[in-house]
Amino acid sequence: MSLLEQNTSPIETSAPGEELTKGSSHIIWASVIAGVLVTIAIAIYVIAGQKPPAATGEVTRAVAHLMHRETTGLDAAGAPMPKEEFDQVLLFTHIKLHNQSKNPLFLRQIMANVTMPDGIHTAYAATPGDYERLFTAYPELAFLHAKPIALDDTIPAGEWLEGDFVSAFRMTRADWEARKDVDYSVSFRYQPDLKLTPTIQIPEQ
User: pLDDT tens across 68-115, in order?
Assistant: 877 777 767 777 888 788 899 999 999 999 999 999 999 999 999 999
Confidence band, pLDDT 50/70/90 cuts, at residue 35: low
What are the structural domain ranges in the chain? 15-50, 55-196
Quote the CA–CA distance of 23 and 130 in Å, as a whole number. 79
Quick one: 53 exposed, middle or buried, by C-beta within 10 A (0-12, 13-18, 19+)?
A: exposed
Quote the CA–CA distance of 89 and 179 in Å, as a whole number. 12
Contact 188/179 with Cβ under 8 angstroms? no
**Average pLDDT in the chain:** 84
For position 72, what pLDDT does the model report?
73
Q: Where is pLDDT greater, at 75 or 193?
A: 193
Is the confidence at residue 59, as pLDDT, over 90? yes
CATH no. of 55-196: 2.60.40
Confidence band, pLDDT 50/70/90 cuts, at residue 32: low
Neighbours of 169 (CB within 10 A): 20
